[in-house]
Structure 1
Amino acid sequence: MKHYLTTKDYANTGETFVLELDEQFQLLRTTPCPDKLDPYYQHESYISHTDRSFTFLEKLYQLVKKYSLRKKLDWIQEYAGSSSAILDVGAGTGSFVSYIRSKDWKADGVEPNKKAREIGASKGVSLFENTAVLSRRKYDVITMWHVMEHFVDLNKQLDPLLGLVKEEGTLFIALPNFKSHDAEYYAEYWAAYDVPRHLWHFSRTAIEKIFQERGWKVVATKPMLFDAFYISLLSEEYKGNRFKWPSACWRGFMSNLYAMRTGEYSSLVYVLQKG
């Protein structure tokens, strides 16, 4: 591992962390990993654990989330057909589970954060705290929307999840991409590093190699176009830019434009099947 970048927890504590690069896998690791991570999630700006919709940015986030729910189900139907059983890992407040259930799909959700599970329960969505109770179940589809970057022990947490997928099953994994144009432009201010909540930072090469070792193949990648704008907006805020909105819109546009040629979008959804 070699030093790649030094950055901060701009969203919460202001603490400094180092990103180390595994050159073979093109994978970054956040160091040090705090002994207790829960306190780093306890701040109001961590919107994925709430359904807050007070500020303009929060309203925009919720609006984009509704669009994304439809898009995610479209991808599942495209690559997994009419699969009947889905497990959403890192379900947050249960929005995706609730949405696909409303479309007559069978779905379970796993969410370790107690506050997020309580919000889900208030909406009528019961979520499991962990996968221990699911060890005897098999799913046609497992989804992880911006989840793997939070794993403390990547191998220890990933392998049991793969054991829950049927032989002909499909994985859908959304992750930030540190090879994107906006990541390179913002460097230590890139909001998707989000240390130390994000302990791993992936590239397309990393995902291909990590899953190839386990007998899985990337059959498609899909861009999450809105992420470039949202991440750029937060990054401009971390830089202290008073004109963050026009700057973020321009940088998000440029990032997606570059990615049309390189494939290196700010966030990517990886579609994986056994092969």
Structure 2
Amino acid sequence: MTYINSTSQVYISCKDHTVSNENFELVWNDHQDILITQPQPSLESLPKYYQSEDYISHTDASKNFSDKLYQGVKNVMLQKKVKLINSLVKHSDKSLLDVGAGTGDFLKTAKLKNWKVRGVEPNAQARKLAKEKTINLVEDISLLSSIDTYDVITLWHVLEHIPDLENQLEKFHYLLNSNGYLIIAVPNFKSYDAQHYQEFWAAYDVPRHLWHFSKEGIQRLMKNHNFKLQNTLPLIFDSYYVSLLSEKYKTGSSNYLKAFRVGLTSNLKAKSTKEYSSHIYVFKKY
């Protein structure tokens, strides 16, 4: 299925602030309520857009304030993520697949809570760091055993990066046990901080983010692939971190206080609109 059709239009144009400084358009399909980055890099060229020390999910960097903020929030969220999956699966022989596992911290935390864990991570440096934590990751989902299935599959800010979206969702459905859960965290382009920063909103992160989801858009997508929404949870910290990066993209300065105000305003407005900077979606296979 393609998402670009006669109802598509350019929603916004923005720049890659991390690596290339190239310009991209986000094309909006009003039927799907999903934005698509155009042009999308080829599979061969895509890795070069991740070759930056600023791409923190592939490192354990803690050099500056934003790095320290990211790592601090990550440590808090690791416990919350494991608490979430524990609430879904009660039996003892529980299995987890983390796609886009980064440097392996989530799988390491889950393993300590008696989960059988597997992970997929395309980036070689991230896989190396994970291996140092005794977490062995494979480069691609095709390298997983075809006979293994999982109680939970997680994608923490990963779905927006996946080039072959339709086929990958079919694979996730196949890899899940009956009544298994697919947990997805993605940014929300209808949040206040997205509207405030417009083309400077850091969570657009073109062209690494190929897809951009609204709450309605991701539900439509997942329904097409036989997943039913069970719960939607806000990611409160994301608005602050994204605003911090967005301020730097917009003004060249971090502007910590202004970023904090925008992040706080976004969360306060979302209490009534329910449009947080990012959400966790819990889907169940059917």
TM bucket (normalised to shorter chain) is over 0.9
Assess, with a 3 A threshold, how the Cα gap between structure 1 residues 243 and 210 changes in structure 2: closer, same or farther. closer
Q: Deviations over 1:149-192 (max 9, x none)?
A: 00112102221122100111111100000011100110100000
Shift of 1:243: 6.0
Shift of 1:87: 0.4
Give the structure 2 partner of residue 91 of structure 1.
101
Give the structure 2 partner of residue 103 of structure 1.
113
Q: Deviations over 1:89-140 (max 9, x none)?
A: 1100111011111122111111111111111112221111112233211100
Shift of 1:79: 2.8
TM-score (norm 1): 0.97
User: Which of these residues, 49, 55, 64, is aligned with residue 64 of structure 2?
Assistant: 55
Distance in 2 separating the partners of 1:33 and 1:274? 29
Assess, with a 3 A threshold, how the Cα gap between structure 1 residues 142 and 235 changes in structure 2: closer, same or farther. same
Distance in 2 separating the partners of 1:98 and 1:226? 22
Distance in 1 separating the partners of 2:18 and 2:97? 30
- State percent identity of aligned pairs: 46
Alignment of 1:92-241 (within 5 A): 92-132=102-142, 133-240=144-251
Distance in 2 separating the partners of 1:202 and 1:175? 7
Unaligned segments of structure 1, at least 5 residues: none
3-state SS of 2:237 partner = helix
Distance in 1 separating the partners of 2:254 and 2:119? 39
Distance in 2 separating the partners of 1:113 and 1:177? 25
Question: In terms of mean alpha carbon deviation, does 139-148 or 152-161 score higher?
Answer: 152-161
TM-score (norm 2): 0.93
Unaligned segments of structure 2, at least 5 residues: 1-7
**Contact 2:182-2:285 at 8 Å conserved across structures:** no
CA-based RMSD of the aligned residues comes to 1.2
**Contact 2:107-2:119 at 8 Å conserved across structures:** yes
Shift of 1:78: 2.2
Give the structure 1 partner of residue 261 of structure 2.
250
3-state SS of 2:260 partner = helix
**Contact 1:80-1:170 at 8 Å conserved across structures:** no
Shift of 1:238: 0.3
Shift of 1:274: 2.8
